[in-house]
Structure formats: structure tokens, C-alpha cells
Amino acid sequence: MGIIIAEYLGQRTDVDNPIINPVSGSALCPFTSGNPCNKLTRRQHPVCSVRRPDGTLYIVCAERLCSTKINIPLCQHQKEILHTIAKKLYDPSVSYSDVCVKREVPLEVVQGTSYSADYVMSLSTGRTEYPGPDRLVLEMQGGGDTQGTGKSTAIANAWAANPNRTNSMLRVESQGGAANVTGTWRRQQEQFIVKGSIAMKTWKGYGIAFCVGSLMYDYLMNKLSSAYLPNLRNYNWTLAVIAIKEDTNAPIIPGPIPLTIDESKMLFTNYQTFVQALINQGEPTLSAFRGIFVNLNNDEVNIP
């Protein structure tokens, strides 16, 4: 089991021409409006996404899905992603001019402490006749980090050092390493719950949408498999979870891997019900609370 480098500075590795060349120092991120690549500034290989051996794409750069950088114009990639999402959250007829966003929006938790919403989205009218929230917090989590990063880094190092490098060398599967979906969700869930709570408290008719990679979606749905989550797609939903995947119907050509929404992995439900389902996990485990204990003198005590 391992991972495969899928994109290097916005260039997919599963084509053989043109040959990708290593980059060091600085270069512009292909998914923002003229910003330097964050990974290169940290002296890392500019890997945007990886694949599992089954081919599933997993984003490993925070800028790849839809960067939230402020004070710069939205690039075409961001516009397309946000428009595609808005058509699912509101209606397929909404246009670019209908969809309005704010980026990195401070949300107050307690006095002096705040989180930032990736985006706050609204229609230009401020109100909507469509089911669901008028305005919403929009969080982007296309992937996360990986375990065993050193394995894929070694492959990238060997590829970069080889004067006769080919793209096939870059896409060799590492012997070890995996998408760290569990760790990513553990870091995200508190902010997700708090940001949704803030949206609910702020005004009736506000909500939250969470755009995630397909692996994260599957992870969440597996955790909530026994929960009753009402399908409110055409009603008054306050929470949406939408999976982003590779667009495998698009032609395989040099450049970035195209993304699309996975129509089979979308959840529209009630925020409070979703959070309650997250909290209400686990089964009674009586054996954990009785049996052999050790007191502070290191003596065993059997507590029935």
C-alpha cells in the first residue's frame, strides 16, 4: 500500500509528454491569481495531489481545491469551482454575477478569539426562493496530509536528480504512505461544528456547506451509517456535505486534473441532527468500567 504523486505544480503526471521538469526556489501557484507556491516557499516539492493505488485522487495542498487568499482577484479556476458548487447549493440556473463570496471571514467564538470561514456565500439579491440557506459558511477540505510522506519525497528527489527523468518515474507508487483522512477530520471537526453553530445563531435561514474530497465523504458517512439523517435536498436544509472528485469523463491531457462534484455523494440535511449524530457515537462498554483496576499503591483491585 502506498501513494502516487498525481500532480506536480499543476501538471498531471499520468501523461508522458511534455516531460515535467523539477522546480526549486519559487514559482507561481497555478490555482491562484499570481501567488507563489506555498510548498516551494517551505522548500517542499510542489505536489498538489496524490493518488491511492485504486486511483482515487487526494488533494494535499490547501490551495488546490479553491484557494481562500484574500485581496487578490478570483482566478478562473476558483470561479469555476465556486460556480459549480453554487449551482448545487442554490439552483443550476445561477450565473457568475448571481454568486457572491467573502473570503477568510472572521467568526467570533469568545471575546478575543475567532475562527475564519473559508468563504461566506450569498446570492447577489441576498435572499433566495430556493430550498436551503440564504447565506452560508462554505468550508473547503479537498484532502489533507498523508502518512509516510518521506516515501513519496524520496521518489520525487530521485526523479529530480535523474538527468534522464521521465514522468513515469514521478508517478512510481511509494512503498508505504497513505491518505491521513482520520487525522484530517479530527483537526477539522471542532471548527466545522463551531462555524456551523455560528451560522445558525447569526440569523434564521443561514447554514453551512462542507466541500470535501471523496475519501473524506466516505469516512464521514461510514461514521454516521447508523444515524437517521433526513434527506432535505428539496426542503429547508441547513447543512450540506458535497464530495469533490476527479472528472474521469474529461480527456486526459497535460495540465491540471479536472475536478467535478460527485453526484452520488451529496448530503443535504439538518445541521443539529448531523452534529447530534457525530456526538452520539459508540456503544455502552460495561467491561471498561469494571474488573481489575490498580490503586495508587500498585495493588490490583477487582471492582464489580
What does the pLDDT read at residue 266? 97
Q: pTM for the full model?
A: 0.92
Q: Give the position of cell 439523517.
A: 229
Rounded to whole angstroms, the Cα distance separating 195 from 23 reads 37
Asked whether residue 62 carries a pLDDT value surpassing 90, the answer given is yes
Range 295-304 average pLDDT: 97
Instruction: Please list the residues that pair with 47 across neighbouring strands.
Output: 8
Name the pLDDT band for 112 (thresholds 50, 70, 90).
confident
Length of the chain: 304
What does the pLDDT read at residue 283? 87
Answer whether 140's CB lies under 8 Å from 104's CB: no
Q: Give the position of cell 449524530.
A: 277
Average pLDDT, the chain: 94
Range 130-147 average pLDDT: 93
Of 149, 84, 90, the C-alpha closest to 123 is 90
Rounded to whole angstroms, the Cα distance separating 23 from 9 reads 8
Of 188, 38, 220, 202, the C-alpha closest to 118 is 188
